[in-house]
Amino acid sequence: MPNNSYNTYILNNIPNGARVLDLGCGDGDLLDQLRREKNCQGYGIDIQYDHILACTKRGISTFHGNIDEGLSDFSDHAFDYVILSQTLQQVTRPLYVIEEMLRVGHKAIITFPNFGYWEIRLRLLLTGQAPKTKTLPYEWYDTPNIRVVSIRNFRHLCHQNNIKILLDNQSNLFSKKGLFIVESGK
Amino acid sequence: MSVESSQKFEGRNLELSSGQALSEFEIAYTTYGTLNQNKSNALLVCHALSGDADAGIWWESQVGPGKSIDTTRYFVICSNTIGSCYGSTGPASINPQTGTPYNLSFPVITITDMVNAQKKLIDSLGISSLASVIGGSMGGMQALEWSVLYPENIRTCIAIATSAELAPQALAFNAVGREAIISDPNFQQGHYTEETVPRHGLSIARMIGHITYRSDESMSEKFGRRLLKKEDYGYDFSTDFEIESYLKYQGDKFVNRFDANCYLYLAKAMSYFDLTKKYGSLEEAFKNTQANFLILSISSDWLYPARESKRIVKALMKQNKPVTYCEIEASHGHDSFLMENDQLSKLIQSFLETTHAQ
């Protein structure tokens, strides 16, 4: 599933003028859309120089940093929304990152490819090999996706860690993607 | 086509942070390129401690036709800071009241004073809005100060390998450098003559400085533990290693081009720079800025580590200011910002292009 379909969904769930922080912002597609269509202000964070450069060319403000090391450079509740789109499965410490998101933002939007998608389940069952799909096209030994997370896994994580799910895109085994809006239940 | 011109500006009544004033002062400056009709393409490049107005030479990697700071597109101004010895008024200049060099009677100056002097120069050129103020190290401090002091007069601020206040370790190195100069018997309370300059002290100050401007990696790569024209140790106190001879060479070269008193004044100005002290907090300092910021650190810079740049960025973000931060990959330490670096050039160029087009 292309990234921009996630973006549309995120766009629909963010109010006008919100202050946003986009973790793993890539070349700034989402922030650019949020700025143009929703009049949002905000910053992107990315670890790759090429992405910082791409964002700069679009006039998007970015912070060069590693989200796995936390968001210590950002103060509490500095943003309305902190977004982690298609990156959860690539972080080393997902829970820590989510907790940090809920510290610096009032709400967090998290999207990820669903490893519990029926096609993946079926492929694993039938072939006995780590499944490859259009959404998850990588070989097991050469993938940036170091975390295997399904929609059910994510719900469980939230439940266990007092994270309140505000919007659960009624995802199930027929969903290729998971999309959640959460806030701190503490 | 790029026109280059070196000139002098004569200014008056510069009120200084110390409470003193310079009733008259000169600034040497060089301009590159052509000022457009509505004077919107001017940008100011600020130099570091030992620099001068010739940005096209000391920052050849960035300033020139077709380069990131494109002199065919922008009207690039670079001025020698007050307190320096490359044409602007400083301790080595003649005090018009006495007819002799100021030496240590020159008032102690700050980064703020340097910027206030530059502002008078920019005003005299009829430029009310600078497309950017750009600098590395002490030049970066000036760029930050510009954004704070004259928010309406600069559209972007590019501060590289710098900090909003000199960190204690850098303060310490600065102090040792000054101490080396002052303790040279030739120093004579700053009243040395051309024949009796405190060569030894100034040279040591530069040697220390040079170590801090480089990295362990770059020294290992360039010199390692190689011996200087010998097969084995000399078992005496002469120069054994190549790195020792290289440092001495750097020190000697510097003595021939820089004034010891100026070094004291500029090092002191850097030590005093502290936006937090001046405004209560860094967030408060940046509260009224209007510029779009590009803050860059160098991965191997241990004198102005990335943490210092991030503090600036964090304060700006708290104030919702547009700011981009990037850590530039370079192995040569602090001085890397002066060298060829593709990452650095591309970011500066893109940032200037995007913000200038807006």
Q: Could you give the count of Cα atoms lying within 13 Å of B243 in the half-sphere of its Cβ?
A: 15
Q: How many domains does chain B have?
A: 2
Task: Record the tokens describing residue B344, joined without a space.
Answer: 């650095």
| B28 strand-pairing partners | B8
Q: What is the mean pLDDT of chain B?
A: 96
Q: Domain check: are B176 and B157 in the same one?
A: no
Is B318 in CB contact (< 8 Å) with chain A?
yes
> Which CATH number belongs to the domain containing residue B120 in this structure?
3.40.50.1820
Query: Which of residues A105 and A69 earns the better pLDDT score?
Result: A105
For B183, the domain range is 171-268
Distance from CA of A44 to the nearest CA of B (A): 9
B1 confidence band (pLDDT: 50, 70, 90): very low
Asked if B358's CB is within 8 angstroms of A58's CB, the reply is no
Same domain, B241 and B215: yes
Is the CB of A59 less than 8 angstroms away from the CB of B325? no
B320 interfaces chain A, CB cutoff of 8 Å: yes
Model confidence at A137: pLDDT above 90: no
* Mean pLDDT, range A102-123, rounded to an integer: 84
Is B124 a residue whose pLDDT tops 80?
Answer: yes
User: Residue A3 above 60 pLDDT?
Assistant: no
Predicted confidence band at B145 (pLDDT cuts at 50, 70, 90)? very high
| Judgement on whether residues B112 and B159 belong to the same structural domain of the protein | yes
* pLDDT at res. A1: 40
Whether the pLDDT of residue B311 is over 50: the answer is: yes
**Boundary-marking domain end, from B224, B245, B268:** B268
Which CATH number is A3-184's, of 3.40.50.150, 3.40.120.10, 3.40.50.300, 2.120.10.30?
3.40.50.150
| Helix or strand holding residue A182 (H, E) | strand A177-184
What is the mean pLDDT of the segment spanning B21-32?
97
Please give the sequence-ordered ranges of beta strands (E in DSSP) within chain B, or none if there are none. 4-15, 21-32, 42-46, 63-64, 69-70, 75-79, 132-136, 156-160, 292-298, 323-328
Q: Is the domain of B186 the same as that of B223?
A: yes
Residues B38 and B16 in one domain: yes
Residue whose C-alpha is closest to residue A13's, from A111, A109, A154:
A109
Domain ranges in chain A are: 3-184
List Cα–Cα distances, A123 to A113, A116, A128, A133, in angstroms. Answer: 16, 11, 7, 9
Active site residue B334: yes
- Rounded distance, CA A2 to CA A137, Å? 12
Coil/strand/helix, residue B237 = coil
pLDDT score for A167 = 84
Is A164 strand, coil or helix? strand
Q: How confident is the model at residue A154 (pLDDT cuts 50, 70, 90)?
A: confident
| Whether residue B133 sits in one domain with residue B28 | yes
Work out the percent of chain B whose per-residue pLDDT is above 90.
96
CA nearest neighbour of B45 among B28, B31, B35? B31
Same structural domain, B154 and B299 = yes
DSSP state of B80: P
A2: pLDDT confidence band, cut at 50, 70 and 90? very low
Last residue of a domain, one of B225, B244, B268: B268
Looking at residue B2, what is its pLDDT?
53
> Is B74 found in the same domain as B139?
yes
pLDDT confidence band for A7 (50 / 70 / 90):
confident
- Distance from the Cα of B295 to chain A's closest Cα (Å) equals 10
Contact flag B326-A52 (C-beta cutoff 8 Å): yes
Confidence at residue A179, expressed as pLDDT on a 0 to 100 scale: 85
Residues B79, B178 share a domain: no
**Helical pair B111-124 and B138-149, crossing angle rounded to 10 deg:** 70
- Tell me, yes or no, if B355 comes closer than 8 A to chain A by beta carbon: yes
B153 lies in the same domain as B281: yes
Contact present, B319 and B287 (Cβ < 8 Å): yes
B177 and B282 assigned to the same domain = no
Final residue of a domain: which of B225, B250, B268?
A: B268
Distance in angstroms (rounded) separating the CA atoms of residues B33 and B23 = 32
Residues B297 and B219 in one domain: no
Q: Would you say residue A98 has pLDDT above 50? A: yes
